[in-house]
Amino acid sequence: MRDMLSYLAAALPSPTGPQARLLALQCALRADDRGRTQLPPGLLRGMHLHGEGMWWRELEQAHWLHRPPLSSTNRAATQLLDATLLSPRPGRRGRARAADWALRTASAPALRNQGPGLQLAAVALAVHVSPGTASGTADAGQVARSCGLTGDQLITALEQLATTGVLNAWTLDAAMDDLAWQTVRQ
């Protein structure tokens, strides 16, 4: 999952918004070996990404995916265009579990009514938490890039995650760009 977030941070233009990044994450993890996805309407509704939002256009304008006309199954079909995603990668079952984990993490009770920026930040932080612990560390710049945020926007997101009860505490060593945090155990 860390690798996928790092890949998306590099592959998507920096102004790509959090909705588009969450959508790209799900598409990348759910794609078949030819880069095709079919996202069910319920998944998109649950992510608050249903309809013809700008996030689809952002990904198309970045030449990251193509959306054929709506199919008769009413699923959002996409064709990923980045050759990196078509090269050998972890098995589909593992990617499906990762997609489900990202979806559950982004829609945790404390995040359900929050915007996609906070949801994506929570996912980006959660991938750096060691199993069985509630603490994590990461390079703040990498976390910010994964979320499409500036350094100041990341600090605002961290403050909001603490306010909403996702994080107990966080610290940033600005000189070293080291970020550390404690999550609230669920």
pLDDT for res 108: 92
User: For 108-186, CATH number?
Assistant: 1.10.10.10
Q: What is the mean pLDDT of residues 123-136?
A: 93
pLDDT for res 122: 96
pLDDT for res 130: 86
User: Per-residue pLDDT tens for 31-41?
Assistant: 988 889 988 88
Neighbours of 108 (CB within 10 A): 18
Q: How far apart are the first and last CA of the chain?
A: 20
pLDDT for res 20: 93
5-14, 24-33, 38-47, 120-129: the lowest-pLDDT one:
38-47
pLDDT for res 71: 58
User: Per-residue pLDDT tens for 38-91?
Assistant: 888 888 888 877 666 788 899 999 999 998 876 556 678 899 998 787 666 667
**Every domain of the chain and the residues it spans:** 1-107, 108-186
Neighbours of 53 (CB within 10 A): 15
Rounded to the nearest angstrom, the gap between the alpha carbon of residue 118 and the centroid of all alpha carbons in its chain is 10
Q: What is the pTM of this model?
A: 0.89
Q: Which residues pair with 182 in a beta bridge?
A: 135, 169
